[in-house]
Amino acid sequence: MDIVQMINDIDAFVWGPPMIVLLLGSHLFLTFRTRFIQRKIPTAIKLSVTKDPDAPGDVSQFGALTTALSATIGTGNIVGVGTAILAGGPGAVLWMWLTGVFGIATKYSETFAAVKYRVKDHEGKMLGGAMYAWKRAFTKNGKTPWWAMLGAGAFALFAAIASFGIGSAVQSSSMTGIITSNFPGIPTWGIGLAIVIMVSLVIFGGIKSISKVCEKLVPFMAIAYAWGCIMIIGINWEYIWPAICLICECAFTPKAAFGGAVGSGLMMALQFGCARGLFSNESGLGSAPIVASAASTRNPARQALVSMTGTFWDTVIICALTGIVLVSTMLANPGIMEGGQIAAGADLTSAAFASIPYIGTPILVIGMILFAYSTILGWSYYGNRCVTYLLGKHAIRPYQVLYVLIAFLGAIGVGDFVWTISDITNALMAVPNIIVVLLLSGMIARETKHYVWEKNLEETDETPIPVIESK
């Protein structure tokens, strides 16, 4: 067996049923543990646009949220839904949606732990994430057990490696594919150089620079894409209810769809719907809590509530809109699957947006470019913080240089192998993150009861934030 095939087999395994059981099981457990924190979504949305200027932190709550969303809302929300439908049938859309609904509790819990155990560096900048939760939560009398150090190191290492693929190479590759398919005369090296310049201008400025760009970019691109989806829903209005019925029916029964041209069956819908949903919203991977730890917030519960809205917007809203758009388009155009013209999720999404005269395709193209670009920005910060934990502050600049170099390589078409490796580490980083969240679930439930359910969200956590020694 050659090395490429072996890597692909490992990738298929780690994103297979064991990972789905781990993440989806954690979603359900933490939903009950937090007493269905999803009920607080209206409060969370209000907090996300509320400034907390006197609280400790480097960026606003909204800035931290949009930075996390910039890394989360990507081509997976557009292409990934189509991929799930083609492989698992229309029922996969419902399982994606349910994964997002229950994943809200996991996003809340992992963010709570990250903010609870965040630290400061010598310059007063906030550092946080699963690695610091592992290290601080289990340290007693100045001694950290080896297994806690292993959990912290494993998460930081896997996340840092994953950032090069999911955050850099695959996104720049997607941008190149979109641009060259619409403007075939542009050389890939030119696109790669433009990406390097656009990314470097932002990420070398640190978290404040990244968050400022994301605060403006994320709402614009999300609203523009949602507007396009609503336009298509309007065009396909008579097929919307049949599409919703078909999605629900195929989620629970082995019903052939579109003449058997797409995947069908309960297990196929469950597997592909959950897998793409988990990949889309990143709940349980531990990525978003890294930037949430830099937010200005008076207690962990406030930022945890804000962060959980990311999963709400990402999967419960955007992925659901995309799913309804694609299934209704397939119903409105029965011949769309004939002749093998639709073989990938991107093809299906392109066909749906092409139904909007004149502006449909430009909306999709611009949206996918912006989604990919913002993901590069958001993941650069995740990798930055993980490399800082592993190697110290002096490793930040070399990491950033390597990060933009990988983006260039991805743009010119040599990032596929890097993507597969990082896809594996992307799944593996979820394991130590989920374990530490489950170990701390008692503390999270107890303090959630105090701050959220006993209505003490305005209370300030007076626990001192420790300053760590810089390497």
Q: In the prediction, which pLDDT does 343 show?
A: 47
CB of 2 within 8 A of CB of 413? Answer: no
CB of 165 within 8 A of CB of 418? Answer: yes
Distance CA 198, CA 411 (A): 13
- Residue 200 makes CB contacts below 8 A (sequence gap 6+) with 400, 404
Q: In the prediction, which pLDDT does 417 show?
A: 61
Distance CA 132, CA 46 (A): 28
pLDDT along the chain (471 residues), means of 10: 73 78 91 96 90 73 78 69 77 88 95 94 86 94 92 94 84 80 82 90 82 80 83 88 89 62 60 73 88 90 93 86 86 64 58 72 79 87 92 90 90 66 78 95 96 93 80 58
Q: In the prediction, which pLDDT does 96 show?
A: 86
Distance CA 285, CA 356 (A): 36
- Residue 154 makes CB contacts below 8 A (sequence gap 6+) with 428, 429, 431, 432
